[in-house]
Amino acid sequence: MVPRLTPTAPSSCIHPFHPSIPDQCLQVSDVYFRLSYNRRAHHTEEYESFQLIVRRGQPFQLCLAFDKPYTEDSQLTLEFHTGEAPKISDGTLARVPVDSPLDGTSWGAKITDKGLKTIDISVQAPPNAIVGKYSIVVETILDGHKYRTEKDPYSHIYMLFNPWCKHDSVYLNDEEELQEYVMNESGIIYVGNKRQVMERPWNFGQFEMPVLDASLELLDKAKFPQRARWDPIRIVRVVSKMVNSQDEDGVLVGNWSGEYEDGIRPSAWNGSVEILQQYYDRKEPVCYGQCWVFSGVTTSVLRSLGIPARSVTNFASAHDTDGNLVVDIHYDEEFTPIDYLNTDSTWNFHVWNEAWMTRPDLPAGYGGWQAFDATPQETSEGHYKCGPASVHAIKNGHVYYGYDSRFIFAEVNADSISWVCPEDGPMYQVWQQEKGIGVKISTKAVGADEREDITDHYKYSEGTEEERLAVEKAVSHGSRPHTYGEKPEKADVEFSINAPKEVIVGHDFTASVTLHNNSSQERNVSMFLTAHTMYYTGVPVTQFHKEKFVVTLQPNGQMTLHAQIEPVQYMAYLVDQGAIKLNLLGRVKENKRTFAGQTDFRFSVPRLNIHIPARDRSDFPVGEEFVAELSFQNPLAVKLTNTEFHIEGPGIQKPKLVSYRDVRPLEAARTLVTMKPVRPGTRKIIANFQSKQLHDVQGHLEIQVTEEEDVDV
């Protein structure tokens, strides 16, 4: 039973407008929102807001106070208004007679307790109610005399999706997953490449000011109809458009150029809160983002609205620009890449999102996790948006089911085909790779800072009959169903390129090539090994090493060749992510067969250590300051300039920038930051270091913040 309310806290009520009215009317003197009780019951107590935030499909409690005793002769109606022009016909205005049934299918309200001049009311919105900000109006009729309160412009009820409600389309029947995908304010986004998976801690901060208001404002800015805001499918599609700035001046400007002087380097962001705060305050796009930033902000927006969501990383992610579900690489007869034809690419990694929901627009079995992407890559229906696409449909090659399943299928399961394009004849296929795209698809595990591999959600095991059938089915619905040419014969000389497993930036590294002669005859091979700096999107930047090898392979023989590369060759050309691409181009003299291959790796940077001196980390009381030390050692033989630390943590520290001095070669850098927790629970401090010469140095630390239990009134 709901405890009886003593209406004492003005922060929990609205004060209606009191016009000059007859004494016979039953006037409402106050409406109390029962903030503390309702927010605990609705899993919204973490929101930094003085407003009432509830979830649809679940009762919430109000207390009404009157100027005279409430009697059985009184007629009482509650009105809930959302949007600029509320109408009953489109669901933006609900008139709810008090003592209408709470049947879970429509708006209802019933009296649960009465005092002399007060009543307690239980109100329930249907599980498909419009999500957004509502104003409340109370109407009373006593002996034919009508009285109505005015809408208070400063007091609202926020209605969210309810994944705890089995009739809501985002219902998720697993409490641990709800705690992870709705309630967890911090997480990990995975970056790097398929051989070097790295963690990037992220502050989603969905409960912090002004994330919820910014998320709702995005829907307004997109001119998304209020009447449609009950539908998570359409909301996710709008969010995927509005988190990037390509259309409607959305949240983030994408930038992969390496030039960020007029904004913030993408790797400097620790989370979504600062980005959404800037966007909400300035009403203009924030500079700059790349895929993990778009995804992190998207996760924040959806979790703030109550939709279970997570960030997902696909390593070796294909970008198919022409819709044939194949990554095509074109060379001339000298095996030089033809740049103007090579519009497809393979990203070292790409981060998108998943949201949990039913899909009543698709056949049974296609609900659950839905993939969608806010990074602006290709247009869909004339806008830069992507999804939601059923992960189940993607796995089975059912790319004809909306939305944008074909594009996401290519990202995880395209084949790569190399073509030679002669000047005087048709192009022909020289190489086909069926297993290189879409590996180690990753998300943060439930309840742990560990990586969960969800590759099997998106594709069957590589090379199996089921996987090949899915590819064939998908390609048959692509833009060119007969993309595949005649497969080349099995090569008599096979090769592999071996990149180093881990190299600290600023150090030497060795690349190697292993050749194997499958024939019973001697083979003479000439080849070039080149090394480029590259963006993580697969785009090469600067070639800094080229080496020619001419070797003779004995029958059935094997040989490994090595190339030693020094820092002076690459340091001046490194770009974001510190990625290197190794390319091999070769030819067998005896049969004129050509071969090509590539691999990549990423330099490692030091970890940023976060240490709290002379404190028991298990006891950090709310409101009590503590000092954290941030430190790392410069691994480079050069001075670091334009240095700064970025630090934040949900419930602990609002985003903060700490300017720092130059850091000498190989010097240890240290700074102290004072913080004061404001909310109890398990909290995470997230920080990074940036400079002109070295960036992406990051770290995080989890602490427990405690607070004495308070008494609900």
Helix (H, G, I), strand (E, B) or coil at 133: strand
Give pLDDT tens digits for 10-61. 344 555 545 556 677 899 999 999 999 999 999 999 999 999 999 999 999 9
Beta strands in 320-438 (DSSP E): 326-331, 345-357, 368-372, 389-390, 415-420, 428-433
Beta-carbon neighbour count of residue 37 at 10 Å? 18
Residue 712 lies inside a defined structural domain of this protein = no
**H or E segment to which residue 160 belongs:** strand 157-160
Same structural domain, 235 and 151:
no
Dihedral Cα 236, 242, 248, 250, nearest 10 deg: 170
Residue that is last in its domain, among 447, 476, 505: 476
Contacts of 710 (CB under 8 A, 6+ apart): none
Separation between Cα atoms, residue 571 and residue 583, nearest integer Å: 19
Domain-located, residue 318: yes
* Same domain for 499 and 469: no
Domains: count for the chain: 4
214 and 247 Cβ atoms separated by less than 8 Å: no
- Kindly tell me the number of DSSP H helices and DSSP E strands found in the chain: 11, 39
Tell me whether strands 186-193 and 326-331 are parallel, antiparallel or unpaired. unpaired
Last residue of a domain, one of 565, 582, 602: 602
Angstrom CA distances, 184 to 187, 207, 240, 273, stand at 7, 10, 21, 14
pLDDT (0 to 100) of residue 491: 77
Do both 219 and 334 map to the same domain? Answer: yes
* Pairwise CA distance, residues 656 & 273, whole Å: 11
- The verdict on 301 and 381 lying in the same domain is yes
Give domain status of residue 481, yes or no: no
Bridge partners, 632 (sequence order) = 669
CB 132 within 8 A of CB 159: yes
- Given 414, 446, 476, which residue is the final one in a domain? 476
Helix (H), strand (E) at residue 303: helix 291-305
Q: Cα(274)–Cα(294) distance, rounded to whole angstroms?
A: 13
pLDDT, residue 18, reads 53
pLDDT of residue 648: 97
Q: Would you report the helix, strand and coil content of the chain in percent, each value rounded to 5?
A: 15, 40, 45
SS3 172: coil
pLDDT given at position 413:
94
Question: What would the two tokens of residue 616 be?
Answer: 């028991």
- Domain shared by 50 and 179, yes or no: no
- Same domain? 266 vs 355: yes
Q: What are phi and psi for residue 669, nearest 5 degrees?
A: -105, 140
**Residue 186 covered by a domain:** yes
- Identify whether residues 440 and 500 lie together within a single domain: no
Q: What is the CATH number of the domain that holds 468?
A: 3.90.260.10
Q: Which of 558, 553, 489 is nearest to 525 (CA)?
A: 553
d(CA 632, CA 73) in angstroms, rounded, equals 73
What whole-number distance in Å separates Cα of residue 597 and Cα of residue 585? 7
Say what the alpha-carbon torsion angle 337, 343, 349, 355 is, to the nearest 10 degrees.
Answer: -160
Q: How many Å is the Cα radius of gyration of the chain? A: 30
In a domain, 256, yes or no: yes
Burial class (CB in 10 A: 0-12, 13-18, 19+), 448: exposed
H helices of 525-645, in order, are: 567-570
User: Which residues of the chain fall below pLDDT 70?
Assistant: 1-22, 334-335, 480-489, 615-618, 708-713
682 lies in some domain: yes
Q: pLDDT tens, 223-235? A: 999 999 999 999 9
User: What confidence score (pLDDT) does residue 551 get?
Assistant: 95
Q: Which residue has the tokens 């970008």?
A: 319
Sign of CA dihedral 12, 157, 214, 48: positive
Looking at residue 2, its pLDDT comes to 44
Is residue 459 one of the residues assigned to a domain?
yes
Q: Annotated catalytic sites, by residue?
A: 291, 350, 373
Q: Where are the alpha helices (DSSP H) in 537-657?
A: 567-570
Model confidence, pTM:
0.92
What CATH number did the domain enclosing 619 receive?
Answer: 2.60.40.10
Residues 387 and 411 in one domain: yes
- Inside any domain, residue 170: no
Which residues participate in the annotated binding site for Ca(2+)? 413, 415, 462, 467
The answer to whether residues 590 and 613 belong to one domain is: no
Taking residue 381's Cβ as centre, other Cβ atoms within 10 Å add up to 10
Strands (E), 467-522: 493-498, 509-517
Residues 539 and 596 in one domain: yes
The verdict on 342 and 420 lying in the same domain is: yes
Domain with 587, as residue range(s), is: 493-602
CB atoms within 10 A of CB 425: 9
Neighbours of 637 (CB within 10 A): 12
**Best CA proximity match to 210, nearest among 140, 147, 283:** 283
Q: Are residues 438 and 311 in the same domain?
A: yes
